[in-house]
Chain A
């Protein structure tokens, strides 16, 4: 066989294997290093600190765990959250993350390495991202081969879709969850391939770990049954499947019920019903197989029909009865909101108001996955070409995850691994094809026709018919070969050959230029991807840190801070100040109180603030730099939630213009302009533009030149990019005036009342 370029031929096969495995290990460790390093920008730029919202709460919980032990942690009551109500923590969280850090902390201390618990928390996410890369490698290796695995590991190591949730300091459940997800899936594929109960049990154990760590475990709970069901429907039921699934389900479910926050949900709620149903189905199918092996086929037919109908009726009746009695399947709000986000908007505004529960526009996909996003469908097609049991899994995962990622920005995280796997399969197939030095034999027909073309000096018009005609002059044997070859060179038949996964004898690439072109193109794309990822990772805004540091340094320790609940944990953890509401949204009325204060006028809001002992009010404002997740964009949710509790006082339509638009410029309705939120966001904003027209970069609207005035609050702090603005609530006027007139007096304004004037005139 001709070669496009020569390979050294004096190497023993053993040397090749050893070298390649050494290279694999080096590559994997380099990938792990890159994955960790690319997540450390924040630590290097600033300091080892935990940022964002939820992580602070997790960190405080972990500190309790590390300092006081597990039982103390279990019974921990946090008085600073939900001031003045407080919160029971133990039973309302997934403890997996804290337990992990706690274990690492104790192991390190047992080895006499006195590492601070904070550093463990900060570096946990980057550390686990290296493990994610490794488990993705293992998973992809099962799909194709080691080289695809290495590519997948590299992709997931630096893909922004995953980095954004696992940078150093982002101490959140997702940080370890993606590793657990991929490793559970790897164990499942391994269990299915080998039919080993050992791997099935391993799947169950990692499933348990996942349940303890992240609410998204329901994704695994449904992916594995879906895969098993698809295999049964495809007629691929086997004892391997039976063993793998049964061992996973039985052990995994029992284990998951040990997590207090989950409790009896696995046998009651709808999210878990699919797993139970498929478990039952597999038992029936297995039993049917057993019976089939023992009775004649005709008897078997009648038994099968009878039992299928009986079981279907019984199952439906039982399910209906249990639902009716209320023992199972209270279809939870979260579940509905996945399928129909309109549902959430109507019935549970609190879920729909979270910016993470918004649907995803295409730029987010491209930003998070760049060129992987269009390699992904190609990889799925390649999976269809092979279609072994494990490829079915990737296919189902692909379609399910892409749907959910489209519905909810947050679930981009679950899409990222499968995109990396599929893209790696596609990319490595391309590289395999074009790196292979073997050149196929030029078909005689093609060679002949090429000669004919040269002779005729005409452009290559070598249709299949033409080659056939050219070949007709040669001997019979040659003609036969030519027709066979021409059939494989025609486009339609080429397609058939490509997709039918036949022998690759006539497959290959001619020449070196074609090879180098494709490889250069591919390497260019990889390089671009790396640049893209670096660019995305570097852009972290630091206003939050600045503002919370200010709070910590400049306010008394017991100063109560009011903000929208998204920032509750962060203020509690980073600024160490009590908050009114935080990210655990269990008390709707309390949140509505904050919503009411934010959406009413100063005069109405002031008594509310005073009654709740609020000293500072914090708002997030993105109008200056175009940070779209700010409070003005969330404002309608505050109004809506407040309206749910005080329909008489707060009405959403009042915050829209007559035409039903959401405006913040001159045309803004009075309710909007007078609301505390609007005033605090745009207070002195127009001054920043020095007489020019002030523009809100998020809404793209012109802000009125004379901005709002504040009487009951005063500006205490505004961060560099104006993202965080903090206001101090004034105390009551010592002279007993209302604050508005006191303010007017201080500014030297005369009272507007006309009565004294009239009296003076009368005197004159």
Chain B
């Protein structure tokens, strides 16, 4: 009487093993058919993330359909595919223990809903739950890839390599077009050096370049660049609140004010004394002094916006 159920019970592990075996083969086949990236739907998603798996997987959630208007998805997709492709060059036994898969929103909305994903792209790394590649920490819940280093393939390969049995042999491809343009530009400059020479030899060209550079640098240009600040904030405001903060447009405004003030001083020092007509000279002196006073007041009031505790003010 009890023999049959016991037999059935005993056979369960074998069945599971067999199904796991077949699931693994299926995944290997799917991966091989598409450059190492498995295109997932809901069924295959459940298959690849089945709770007892002796493989690990990097799953990339994206929304490539133009209707979804996901610009970052388009940007990231080639990087992921390139890394997956690099993985196909690994020896077979290692290769088949880690899979790269892509879930597109339009093919598997259910998966997105189940995981509560509201943004894309996202990369989940599922460690193996059994077998030799099970992580030593025993952690089997998915790890979310950190996009802090941007959408490039290089950092992706580097970070994923921590979870693959062997490091991903990804090499950044040589950017031939860029090298080509650089060489071309250099050649053009070299051939046109005779035409450029008078310009290069003119001290005022250099003066303009250097003064502009220092104006822009002292107006926080590098801050905007390094921090990737937007030109202006939401709802059209262009002055960022806070002392250690600024928007892109502030660089223009501040550099302009600095430039105008410096120019006024130069006018007073260099140009006005050469004016040989007393009344016109007087007019110029008054004009430039007024410009200095007004622009300096503007500058100070701008600074008061940034630093609210600043106690001084001029005209404004």
Tell which of A361, A441, A521, A659 touches B246, judged by Cβ atoms closer than 8 Å: A361
Given contacts A361-B243, A498-B274, whether A430 and B258 have CB atoms under 8 Å apart is no
Chain B residue numbers with a CB within 8 Å of A497 are 274
Structural contact, B274 and A507, CB atoms closer than 8 A: yes
Residue of A nearest to B211 (CB): A377
Tell which of A373, A381, A513, A649 touches B218, judged by Cβ atoms closer than 8 Å: A373
Residue of A nearest to B286 (CB): A517
Q: Kindly state the separation between the CA atoms of A499 and B208 in the bound complex, as whole angstroms.
A: 13
Q: Kindly state the separation between the CA atoms of A497 and B119 in the bound complex, as whole angstroms.
A: 64
Chain B residue numbers with a CB within 8 Å of A462 are 277, 280
| B223, B254, B277, B306 interface centre (most CB from chain A within 10 Å) | B277
| A381, A382, A521 interface centre (most CB from chain B within 10 Å) | A381
Q: Does A75 contact B (CB under 8 A)?
A: no
Q: Kindly state the separation between the CA atoms of A441 and B277 in the bound complex, as whole angstroms.
A: 9
Size range of the chain A interface in the assembly: 35 or more
Q: Does B35 contact A (CB under 8 A)?
A: no
Given contacts A363-B243, A367-B307, A395-B210, whether A377 and B274 have CB atoms under 8 Å apart is no
Q: Does A291 contact B (CB under 8 A)?
A: no
Q: Kindly state the separation between the CA atoms of A406 and B147 in the bound complex, as whole angstroms.
A: 27
Residue of A nearest to B162 (CB): A647
Interface 9-residue window, one of A147-155, A174-182, A255-263, A396-404: A396-404
Structural contact, A430 and B277, CB atoms closer than 8 A: no
Chain B residue numbers with a CB within 8 Å of A517 are 285-286, 289
Q: Does A145 contact B (CB under 8 A)?
A: no
Tell which of A399, A407, A506, A511 touches B210, judged by Cβ atoms closer than 8 Å: A399
Chain A residue numbers with a CB within 8 Å of B220 are 359-362, 365, 406
Q: Kindly state the separation between the CA atoms of A618 and B206 in the bound complex, as whole angstroms.
A: 52
Q: Kindly state the separation between the CA atoms of A25 and B137 in the bound complex, as whole angstroms.
A: 73
Q: Kindly state the separation between the CA atoms of A384 and B135 in the bound complex, as whole angstroms.
A: 66
Q: Does A366 contact B (CB under 8 A)?
A: yes
Chain B residue numbers with a CB within 8 Å of A509 are 272-273, 281, 285
Q: Kindly state the separation between the CA atoms of A446 and B310 in the bound complex, as whole angstroms.
A: 48
| A395, A434, A514, A528 interface centre (most CB from chain B within 10 Å) | A514
Structural contact, A380 and B274, CB atoms closer than 8 A: no
Q: Does A405 contact B (CB under 8 A)?
A: yes
What is the minimal beta-carbon distance from B142 to any residue of chain A, in angstroms? 11
What is the minimal beta-carbon distance from B229 to any residue of chain A, in angstroms? 9
Residue of B nearest to A440 (CB): B276
Interface 9-residue window, one of A245-253, A487-495, A559-567, A752-760: A487-495
Interface residues in A411-469 (C-beta closer than 8 Å to B):
426, 429-430, 433-434, 440-443, 446, 449-450, 460, 462
Interface 9-residue window, one of B49-57, B81-89, B96-104, B291-299: B291-299
Q: Does A222 contact B (CB under 8 A)?
A: no
What is the minimal beta-carbon distance from B73 to any residue of chain A, in angstroms? 15
Given contacts A362-B251, A366-B303, A531-B312, whether A648 and B139 have CB atoms under 8 Å apart is yes
Chain B residue numbers with a CB within 8 Å of A727 are none
Structural contact, B218 and A405, CB atoms closer than 8 A: yes
Q: Does B172 contact A (CB under 8 A)?
A: no
Interface 9-residue window, one of B23-31, B105-113, B259-267: B259-267
Chain A residue numbers with a CB within 8 Å of B146 are 643, 651-653
Size range of the chain B interface in the assembly: 35 or more
Across the A-B interface, how many residue pairs have beta carbons closer than 8 Å? 227
Chain B residue numbers with a CB within 8 Å of A366 are 299, 303
Structural contact, B218 and A518, CB atoms closer than 8 A: no
Q: Does A341 contact B (CB under 8 A)?
A: yes
Chain B residue numbers with a CB within 8 Å of A34 are none
Q: Kindly state the separation between the CA atoms of A509 and B280 in the bound complex, as whole angstroms.
A: 11
Q: Kindly state the separation between the CA atoms of A360 and B218 in the bound complex, as whole angstroms.
A: 9
Contact with B along A155-184 (1 / 0, CB 8 A): 000000000000000000000000000000
Q: Kindly state the separation between the CA atoms of A646 and B311 in the bound complex, as whole angstroms.
A: 48
Structural contact, B244 and A628, CB atoms closer than 8 A: yes
Q: Does A342 contact B (CB under 8 A)?
A: yes
Chain A residue numbers with a CB within 8 Å of B257 are 374
Given contacts A384-B207, A406-B220, A508-B273, whether A359 and B227 have CB atoms under 8 Å apart is yes
| A374, A395, A508 interface centre (most CB from chain B within 10 Å) | A374
Q: Kindly state the separation between the CA atoms of A460 and B278 in the bound complex, as whole angstroms.
A: 11
Q: Kindly state the separation between the CA atoms of A376 and B292 in the bound complex, as whole angstroms.
A: 15
Chain A residue numbers with a CB within 8 Å of B270 are 385, 498-499
Q: Kindly state the separation between the CA atoms of A449 and B272 in the bound complex, as whole angstroms.
A: 19
Chain A residue numbers with a CB within 8 Å of B211 are 377, 380-381
Q: Does A658 contact B (CB under 8 A)?
A: yes
Q: Does A217 contact B (CB under 8 A)?
A: no
Q: Does B144 contact A (CB under 8 A)?
A: yes
Chain A residue numbers with a CB within 8 Å of B217 are 402-403, 405-406
Chain B residue numbers with a CB within 8 Å of A49 are none
Q: What are the 3 A-B residue pairs with the smallest beta carbon separation, nearest first?
A: A406-B222, A362-B220, A498-B270
CB pairs A–B below 8 angstroms (15 shown): A346-B155, A358-B244, A359-B226, A376-B262, A380-B214, A433-B273, A442-B278, A446-B280, A485-B276, A494-B271, A495-B271, A509-B272, A510-B282, A628-B242, A658-B119
Q: Told that A362-B219, A375-B262, A430-B265 touch, could you supply 20 new A-B pairs with CB distance under 8 A?
A: A346-B149, A363-B306, A378-B263, A380-B211, A382-B266, A402-B217, A433-B268, A462-B277, A489-B274, A489-B276, A495-B271, A498-B270, A498-B274, A514-B285, A517-B286, A521-B293, A535-B311, A643-B146, A653-B144, A700-B242
